[in-house]
Amino acid sequence: MKNGVFPLSLFQALIDRREKMSIIGLGYVGMPLAVAFAKKINVIGYDNNIDKIKLYKSGQDPTNEVGNEEISNTTVEFTSSEQRLKEAKFHIVSVPTPINLDKTPNLAPIENASKVVGRNLTRGSIVVYESTVYPGVTEDICVNILEAESGLKYGVDFKVGYSPERINPGDKINTLASIVKIVSACDNETLDIISNVYKLIIKAGVFQAKSIKVAEAAKVVENSQRDINIAFMNELAMVFDRMGIDTKEVIEAMNTKWNALGFYPGLVGGHCISVDPYYFIYEAEKLGYHSQIVSAGRKINDGMGRFVAESIVKKLIHTNKKVKDSIVVILGLTFKENTPDTRNSKVIDIIKVLDEYGVRPIVVDPIANIHEVKEQYEIELVDLDKIKDADCLVFAVAHNEFIDKDMKFWSKLFKEDLDNSSKVIIDVKSIMEKSDISNEGFSFWRL
């Protein structure tokens, strides 16, 4: 395993299908990776969730990222047996990195995944991490676990790299292959093979970061930057609401300038943008620096669920409704449009605050997994065609299924004896045409 020989020979062995790759963690990131790589090399797809593996083996894609046809035809060897990892020489770890209740990083998933890989690591292997972490986790924590579990020596018996995931769930335009891949490694020879491996599937090419820590930091920063920009728009939205100014109309005017950034206010949930800034904050505070801008952005965005919920209550009161007896329908529960992923959805914050006012909303989401929602949030999803006698419709997620329907459809969901001025529409994602709603005389509010 001499430098200058090991990496290039392993790459050739992969494309000749004499060696295998493994993907550890088959969620919204790992599964598309496995399917894409399987078109070029032999891939073992490992996940400890037995039910998920059964779905993949039966040709079902619960993530909707690649579709059932792709899953049915892929050559990925799906397994929940960790011993199968011994067959691979190139491992990609793609497990979630959530936060704890106190907003500190929860490294348990990546630590456990490292133990699994370590127990099955063979001499001459490369391990690449894709999970979002703060700078230092790969080399200071994961490598130690790999060494302890395998009995192998880092830099001699195995090498390590880091390539942060950049998949945008539900996005059919900015796909895996069309997003530049940041790659990094423990040495230049390993960097060459990692770069060549990813180039097999990434049409946009790769960017070689100067070090693993730089690559780790880049991932945290790119999501923190987006979080801060959305927080700014959310703060403007709250102020403009008090001023009686429509935020979307302001943004449309502002965006006529060439250097406008095009951000909109909204609920910031999911497993990346609403989580990654806390990894930066945590590491900064460990070093004695209290983050100001990033922390402020997180505080604003974490409070938007309450702001929307209280705006709903105000509208109900303004239309002379008894808040506690009002039938409020929440349209959309996933963390973003056109994806079934409900992890860390901020729509839940709206529901919790409404509950404080005695309102138990009806929740509709045609894309979310009914069983996962029940297990995760104890919410029973209701079919859209079962909705009637509503006092208020809340468009919380911009699913295509909602966008494609007109005002005539939505109007039929309200109580028949209500005047249009008493029918409340809350448009969190600004998916409705304001003129259409105004012409009908509905009571309307949007973020």
- The residue ranges of every structural domain in the chain are 6-209, 212-302, 303-447
Residue 2 confidence (pLDDT) = 45
The answer to whether the pTM exceeds 0.85 is yes
Q: Does domain 6-209 have CATH number 3.40.50.720?
A: yes
Same CATH fold assignment for domains 6-209 and 303-447: yes
Catalytic residue among 142, 186, 272, 392: 272
Q: Which CATH number fits domain 212-302: 1.10.645.10, 2.115.10.20, 1.10.1040.10, 3.30.1600.10?
A: 1.10.1040.10
Q: How far apart are the first and last CA of the chain?
A: 58
Q: How far is CA 260 from the centre of its chain?
A: 25
Contact 16, 86 (CB under 8 A): no
437-446, Cβ contacts within 8 angstroms, sequence gap of 24 or more: 437/407, 440/407, 440/411, 443/315, 443/318, 443/319, 445/311, 445/312, 445/315, 446/246, 446/247, 446/248
Query: Which regions in the chain score pLDDT beneath 70?
Result: 1-8
Shortest CA distance to 192 belongs to which of 161, 219, 215? 161
Q: Where are the alpha helices (DSSP H) in 244-346?
A: 247-254, 276-286, 293-302, 304-318
Look up 142 and say whether it is catalytic: no
> Rg of the Cα trace of the chain?
24
- Quote the pLDDT of residue 5: 45
| 3-class state of residue 277 by DSSP | helix
Q: What is the CATH number of domain 303-447?
A: 3.40.50.720
Q: What are phi and psi of 117, to 5 degrees?
A: -65, -45
Please tell me the predicted confidence (pLDDT) of residue 8. Answer: 61
Separation between Cα atoms, residue 230 and residue 298, nearest integer Å: 10
3-state secondary structure of 384: helix
